[in-house]
Structure 1
Amino acid sequence: MEVKLPRKRDVPRKTILISCHQLKLNSNSNNLLYLFSDACWYLDEQARYYRQTIILSSHLTPEMNALFNGLCLNYEGKIKLATEFTGVLPKVQLEIRQVYERFDASSIGELDDARFEYFCTKVYPKIQESDEGGVLLFASSYFEYIRLSSFLKSQDASFCRIGEATSQQDISRARLWFFEGQKKILLYSERSHFFHRYKIRGGHHLVIYSLPGRKDFYPEVCEYARRISKSQVQCAFFSSGPIVGTSSARRLISSDKDMFVFC
């Protein structure tokens, strides 16, 4: 059975994998005879232990790891091909100081809320207090993009935004406002970058709310901040391997430090 996983805005991935080994509601008589004779484990709700699952992707994500570890339960076992990432930091051609900051989360389920709380209490006040504009705020997921947009509106922040659903007229206006300094913050989504690769000018500081799912986007986004003096990256360390490299990611995870600098 081929299962295509939807985007985050659609039905949760977990629901699909749980449902794919359940009985069909429109089972005909032949199917029922098969179930009673040769596949009684369906009736015993043991199908999950017989389901064969193949996960293929050019980009490994924490969500895929969660599916593999928690929902792939075949009784014969499972195998995972591990990849050693070299990282894409050497591809960042600008001489910039990249700061990775650690934030605490009680569990994986609380990760999104913990990240948002850290941004609201630690990162945004620094942006608000600074007199300099040109802050490019990058969000990797659609939900993060919407959440940040709502927060900035509630703070009456000087910002514009470019997302996948933004009209061409609003995109042109946002790029102009950001370039001329009329807006202090430009909120930019990964999906918009995926589809369009807009040329964005006027960036002085880069704040990556969450690392891009596609590692090659990292150096591309860094190029937008041509006069950048400091790049701040708030990220979950378990998803940083493709960006900083596997060996560096291990050091990030095992270290007691709360801040790491790559130059």
Structure 2
Amino acid sequence: MFWLSRRFSLIAATIFFSTEVTVSLAQVFQRFETASAADVPEARFRFFTEKVLPPLLREGSQGCMVYVRSYFDFVRLRNHLRSLDASFCQICEYTSDAKVSRARGVFFTGRRRLMLYTERFHFYRRYRIKGVQRLVFYELPTLPQFYPELCRMVATGNSGCTSLFCRQDALPLAAVVGSSRAARMLHAERDVHVLVSEGQ
């Protein structure tokens, strides 16, 4: 993983990708606490399911896309949503073209309130998903240029973007917001930080 760490360090030193968001958007970065690096997956899942997900599933809420970096997390979230009998659709790297088209259709028309969307699908296909009113990064992307690409899918004037992070996410956070701002966000007393892009 040295090459990846070095890549993030170089990117963070030269450009940070939150400035590349070209739509008017409130970018909310929400920190959760972890006991150790080994606790990160469980702490992230617990924070998302207890704090972030319930408002997204409220009556009247729709158009939320949840970007999931790992397939393991995708399966775990999918199973959790099924256990809640939630209104959602899913697109991952193993989804057939026919099911991708159907998922895009039911999401755009509001027949499904929430979409799970994996990083590997985005890497290979780069579809523009229509109907996104709120974007949630369950984990910040491996490649930081995906951050503005996904943010540009959010319809102008809607509720924005939320990214979950913890202290172990220092490198991907720095690649998105810049190393100086990332350091402040990681060690600040407050857990929520908001950046606002004005659009073009």
Counterpart residue identity of residue 257, structure 1: R
Counterpart residue identity of residue 198, structure 1: Y
Give runs of aligned pairs for residues 117-132 of structure 1, distance below 5 A: 117-132=46-61
Say whether the 8 Å CA contact 2:133–2:155 is kept in structure 1.
Answer: yes
Shift of 1:86: 2.7
Q: Say which SS state the counterpart of residue 133 (structure 1) adopts.
A: coil
Rounded Cα–Cα distance in structure 2 between residues aligned with 1:257 and 1:138: 24
Q: Say which SS state the counterpart of residue 100 (structure 1) adopts.
A: strand
Counterpart residue identity of residue 258, structure 1: D
Question: What residue number does 2:107 align with?
Answer: 178
Bigger relative CO (Cα 8 Å, ≥ 6 apart) = 2
Rounded Cα–Cα distance in structure 2 between residues aligned with 1:119 and 1:129: 15
* Count of residue pairs brought into register by the alignment: 192
Taking only aligned residues, the RMSD between alpha carbons, in angstroms, comes to 2.0
**CA distances 1:143-201 after superposition (whole Å, capped 9, x unpaired):** 11111111111111100011000111100000000011110001100100000001210
Shift of 1:57: 4.0
Rounded Cα–Cα distance in structure 1 between residues aligned with 2:187 and 2:15: 18
1:85 to 1:113, Cα distance in 2 relative to 1, 3 A: farther
Say whether the 8 Å CA contact 2:12–2:178 is kept in structure 1.
Answer: no
Matched, 1:203 2:136: no
Say whether the 8 Å CA contact 1:97–1:261 is kept in structure 2.
Answer: yes
Rounded Cα–Cα distance in structure 2 between residues aligned with 1:159 and 1:128: 9
- 173-182 vs 219-228, which moves further: 219-228
Rounded Cα–Cα distance in structure 2 between residues aligned with 1:85 and 1:147: 36
Higher Cα Rg, which structure: 1
1:86 to 1:130, Cα distance in 2 relative to 1, 3 A: farther
Q: Say which SS state the counterpart of residue 121 (structure 2) adopts.
A: helix
**Structure with the bigger percentage of helix:** 2
Question: What residue number does 2:161 align with?
Answer: 231
Normalising by structure 1, we get a TM-score of 0.69
- 228-237 vs 122-131, which moves further: 228-237
Rounded Cα–Cα distance in structure 2 between residues aligned with 1:244 and 1:156: 36
Percent of residue pairs identical: 35
Question: What residue number does 2:24 align with?
Answer: 95
Question: What residue number does 1:147 align with?
Answer: 76
